[in-house]
Amino acid sequence: MAVYLPKGTRDFLPEQMRTRLFVLDTVRSVFSRFGFEPLETPAFERIETLTGKYGDEGDKLIYKILKRGAGAERGECDQALRYDLTVPLARVVAMNPDLRMPFKRYQTQPVWRADRPQRGRFREFWQCDCDVVGTKSPLAEAECIAVALAALDALGLPGAVIRLNDRRILRSIAVAAGAADKEIPFLICLDKLDKIGRDKVSAEFGRLGLDDAAVAGVWDVLTVPDGHDPALDSLEAALDDAGREGVDTLRAVLDAVGRMGVALDRVQIDPTLARGLDYYTGPVFEISLPAGDIGSVGGGGRYDGLVGMFSGRDVPAVGIALGIERIIMVLEEQGKLSSQRTTADVLVTVFSDEQRNTSLSFATRLRSAGVKTDLYLGEGNLKKQLKYANARGYPNIVIIGPDESERGEVTVRNLDSGEQSKLSAGDAVRSLTHS
Amino acid sequence: MAVYLPKGTRDFLPEQMRTRLFVLDTVRSVFSRFGFEPLETPAFERIETLTGKYGDEGDKLIYKILKRGAGAERGECDQALRYDLTVPLARVVAMNPDLRMPFKRYQTQPVWRADRPQRGRFREFWQCDCDVVGTKSPLAEAECIAVALAALDALGLPGAVIRLNDRRILRSIAVAAGAADKEIPFLICLDKLDKIGRDKVSAEFGRLGLDDAAVAGVWDVLTVPDGHDPALDSLEAALDDAGREGVDTLRAVLDAVGRMGVALDRVQIDPTLARGLDYYTGPVFEISLPAGDIGSVGGGGRYDGLVGMFSGRDVPAVGIALGIERIIMVLEEQGKLSSQRTTADVLVTVFSDEQRNTSLSFATRLRSAGVKTDLYLGEGNLKKQLKYANARGYPNIVIIGPDESERGEVTVRNLDSGEQSKLSAGDAVRSLTHS
């Protein structure tokens, strides 16, 4: 029987799992340090819960699950796999009116999208979200930004920077350009600036019906001076009241972010940043690493409309997501974590059938002392076991032959240095506990 | 829009997540200590990978995923949700012929079964498996048993006991009873002993065609004296060669388990234990807690046939699974972990808009010192914040009013004792770091 994996999915063998567990544990611990609390939701939701939330393109990518029983023959489906972690959060908030607000939760779980698989894009991948539900305070934005940067720092990826904009500023720019009635197409063009450059975006603005003066006016507004205050002052002068509300909010977010210990040169005002246009209602942000072509490793914003879709109540919310798959790729490429090591610190070999029990007892002693200890469970002589140990990369091995056994000793060999020493069993436990 | 969850699924709110994360982290750390390594596989597999592995009843419970595109209209499916963690392991081993054997892996992931939901039975639930692939050595069984008991000990559920039998002993008992040609029905009856008692099982044996003498003979074989050696000697005397092979293996397992530090009174030979009849080929085991009606919290056995179904190679394997959902239920019922606490150690309140920045800076200082710190992000005066803090159960809160702020002090209140003290900011950080 031929065996293979569904397209776009992956197994994570122990070597990959070590990186993934390190990343998830680190991120989880930083999230907790900031007072975010864990939440998990089921892999599948009712189809009605998911559809209509991700646009037409998104809806097509939702995996549906066949009904049981009679409905199955008609191809009916009533459930579907989670597409992201935000809609499930909104459902949880709507279903639990007694949750104390503000509710700060983090969630790290896989999501599924029937997308065309390509390098770095999968049909099953993990998301890693922090959200604050139930407050309009700009402190919430600030905490999301601070926690995301702190998580990247803790992962050994310092120097990540964050670009900041506001949905209301984007709309106001469209209004100023006379494009109020085609706001979304206008902003979709603007969003291409990084990829296709100013000339091509100008040409697209022209195709949307903007005259040359209007286009020049747009670039005028978007070209902001360096520094937070000058940039925000310049936007304030150019925009309408709604845009100025966005500017005020960004001032408050920047102030709070600074108080939260984020170096302010890590935050950049970028009025061209256009993401989640259908979705975000206030500040939007995007995180990138300094190194060249990695692109975004996270982002988020305020979405005050979503929870109300489920609950009818007006529930403000803001969140940030780390692009955990890309972060893992970066860490693996940088080789920072690429140890080929097993999870165990030591392999206790089995010299012979006669010596087996001594090895068993010594392995048990090591484990009781908290040492991560593997015991050779296979058949095969010491030579084969040494080959196994070298291939798997244990830092240390223990050998207990008849001589050692008789004297209550064990041989500890460090596989990196090749050094080995005969020690009393007690000394060996102590030396391996501290290695 | 009415919102609800698919039947048989659950959200895990922060309070539940704290228990679940504690359990999974504890178990994972014990598994690592025994040299088991982490593996994860995708939520869905190709349908052919799953079907035909779980019997007809099992096949009906597999959730199928609708194809994309044209196939969807015809209700076609080519993928299905994982039903357990063993078949995915077998597929991984078959797909990765270069894995070094023995391969010891643990896997803790959710599985899905379209079962009728009932108390304690869900359509999405977590499994928690340890397996050793690639060796026939009874040390592998012993390690599975030792690691499972160590995990339960670490969870604060000591005193779990393990019942031990062997698939070959079961077959041999059927043969001795003259039921070789109806082995499986015979063993299914036997498996009901715990539930329906000896008289009813005898009656069912009768309906299978066993005469009274044969039935009496079965009970004779099954009634073993106390103590491992007497029990195994008694079985050895009654069984055929194949059964005696099983007895020999159990002797070796028991010997190794003892060397691994397991108190031997936690292991019981039970020739009536019949589980995984289609599946296991050697030793089988089941773990239960001493307290009365909880039933099994785990079990496993040797299954030398499964991996070969995928790879064509003969690959022996043995594994044990902890019933993690039941374990969590027991821990919650025992109230051992039922703290209503948030994950944060302290809530820093915001006295007023003027004092906001002082609170922000102090929260940041606490976080830098590693203290799990929540900052009040909502609107509302101190009274409202105190209510919020009490409802959520933070151990400590910090208040910084204008007086404190002026003197560089903060008030720390312990919400359990009600005690509070004004401390310099530095002393407050130190006191909360060690609380």
pLDDT digits (tens, 9 = 90+) for B94-153: 999 999 899 999 999 999 999 988 887 899 999 999 999 999 999 999 999 999 999 999
CA atoms within 13 A on the CB side of B175: 13
A18: nearest Cα among A413, A415, A393, A425: A393
Closest to B78 (Cα-Cα) out of B117, B51, B110? B51
Report d(CA B279, CA A328) in Å as an integer.
38
The pLDDT confidence band at residue A392, using thresholds 50, 70 and 90, is confident
H/E element, B431: helix B425-433
Q: Residue with structure tokens 């914003």? A: A301
SS3 content of chain B, % helix, strand, coil (to 5): 45, 20, 35
Distance CA B268, CA B312 (A): 36
Q: What's at B308, amino acid-wise?
A: G
CB pairs A-B closer than 8 Å: 270
Domain ranges of chain A: 14-333, 346-433
Q: What are phi and psi of B413, to 5 degrees?
A: -115, 130
Whole-angstrom Cα distance, residue B302 to residue B165? Answer: 11
Backbone angles phi, psi at B284, to 5 degrees: -130, 150
What does the mean pLDDT of chain A come to?
92
Q: Please judge whether A42 and B104 are an interchain contact, meaning their C-beta atoms are less than 8 angstroms apart.
A: no
State the smallest CA–CA distance between residue B242 and chain A in angstroms: 22
Nearest by CB to A42, from B5, B48, B96: name it. B5
**Closest CA–CA distance from residue B223 to any residue of chain A (Å):** 31
Report the sign of the C-alpha dihedral through residues B334, B336, B337, B341, in that order: positive
Hey, are the CB atoms on A65 and B68 less than 8 Å from each other? no
Q: How many CB atoms lie within 10 A of CB B151?
A: 29
The span from the CA of B393 to the CA of A340, in Å, is: 44
Q: Are B236 and B250 in contact (CB under 8 A)?
A: no
How much of chain A, in percent, has pLDDT values that exceed 70?
Answer: 97
Answer yes or no: do A378 and B134 touch at CB < 8 A.
yes
SS (H, E, C) B20-60: HHHHHHHHHHHHHHCCCEECECCCEEEHHHHCCCCHHHHHH
Identify the pLDDT of residue B314. Answer: 84
Give the containing element (helix H, strand E) for A146: helix A138-154
Mean pLDDT, rounded, for A171-177: 95
Q: Are A271 and A193 in contact (CB under 8 A)?
A: no
d(Cα B166, Cα B151) in Å, to the nearest integer? Answer: 23
pLDDT band at B49 (very low <50, low <70, confident <90, very high): very high
Mean pLDDT for A23-29 is 95
Instruction: Write phi, then psi, for B348 (nearest 5 degrees).
Output: -90, 115
Amino acid at A144: C
What confidence score (pLDDT) does residue A72 get?
Answer: 72
Q: How far apart are CA A337 and CA B198, in angstroms?
A: 59
Bridge partner residues of B288 (DSSP): B161, B296
Task: Take residue B307 and report the two structure tokens written for it.
Answer: 């991996």
pLDDT at A264 over 70: yes
How do residues A266-276 score in pLDDT, each as one tens digit? 999 999 999 88
Q: How far is CA A118 from the centre of its chain?
A: 19
Cβ–Cβ below 8 Å for B377 and A132: yes
In Å, how far is B407's CA from the nearest CA of chain A? 19
Name every chain A residue with its beta carbon within 8 A of the beta carbon of B377: 102, 104, 132, 135, 137, 139-140, 143
> In the predicted model, what is the mean pLDDT of residues A204-228?
94
CA-only gyration radius of chain A, Å = 28
Check B364 against A94: CB less than 8 A apart: no
How far, CA to CA in Å, does A96 sit from each of A100, A103, A318, B189? 9, 11, 18, 46
The C-alpha angle A346, A352, A354, rounded to 5 degrees, equals 115
- Residue A1 has a pLDDT of 60
Region B419-423: mean pLDDT is 95
Cα-based distances in Å from A120 to A12, A47, A329, B11, B232: 15, 27, 8, 30, 56
Average pLDDT over residues A18-34: 94
Lowest-confidence region among A65-74, A230-239, B165-174, B416-425: A65-74
Rounded to 10 degrees, what is the CA torsion of A323, A328, A330, A331?
Answer: 140
Radius of gyration of chain B (CA): 28
The pLDDT score that the predictor gives to residue B74 is: 75
Q: What pLDDT is recorded for position A337?
A: 67
**Strands B373-375 and B346-348, sheet pairing:** parallel
- Give the gap in angstroms from C-alpha B214 to the nearest C-alpha of chain A: 41
**Residue B339 above 70 pLDDT?**
no
Average pLDDT value for chain B: 92
A306 to chain B: which residues are within 8 Å by CB? none
Chain B residues close to A375, C-beta within 8 Å: 35, 139, 143
- Which residues of B are less than 8 Å from A371 in CB distance? 33
Flag if B42 and A124 touch (Cβ within 8 Å).
Answer: yes
Closest CA to B274 of B357, B339, B207, B179: B179
Place of tokens 């340090």: A33
Residue A341 has pLDDT above 70, yes or no: no
Q: What share of chain A is helix, strand, coil (3-state, %, to 5)?
A: 45, 20, 35
CB contact under 8 A, A100 and B374: no
Nearest-neighbour CA in chain A from B320: distance (Å): 16
CA distance B238 to chain A (A): 29
Residue B338 pLDDT grade (very low, low, confident, very high; cuts 50, 70, 90): low
Which residues of chain A does B364 touch, with a Cβ-Cβ cutoff of 8 Å?
146, 259-261
Q: Do B40 and A12 touch (CB under 8 A)?
A: yes
CA-nearest residue to A359 within chain B is B259
Interchain contact, A44 vs B6, CB within 8 Å:
yes
Q: What are phi and psi of A210, to 5 degrees?
A: -80, 135
Give the tens place of pLDDT for each residue, B372-381.
999 999 888 9
Closest residue, chain B, to A96 (C-alpha):
B13
Average pLDDT in the A407-435 region?
Answer: 93
CA distance B45 to B91: 10
The region that residue A69 occupies, defined by phi over 0 for left and psi between -120 and 50 for alpha, beta otherwise, is: left
| pLDDT value, residue A293 | 65
Q: DSSP of B279-333, one letter per residue?
A: T--SEEEEEE-SSGGG-EEEEEEE-SSHHHHHHSS---EEEEEE-HHHHHHHHHH
Residue B316: asked if its preceding bond is cis (omega within 30°), the reply is no
B327 touches B155 (CB < 8 A): yes
Confidence of residue A403 (pLDDT cuts 50, 70, 90): very high
Contact: A43, B43; criterion CB under 8 Å: yes
Per residue in A294-327, pLDDT tens? 778 999 999 998 888 888 888 999 999 999 999 9
CATH number of B346-433: 3.40.50.800
Q: According to DSSP H, which parts of A266-346 are helical?
A: 306-311, 324-333
Instruction: Give every CB contact of residue A40 below 8 A, 6+ residues apart in sequence.
Output: A107, A109, B11, B12, B17, B20
Residue A252: closest CA among A130, A133, A142: A142
ipTM for this prediction:
0.91
CATH architecture of A14-333: 2-Layer Sandwich (3.30)
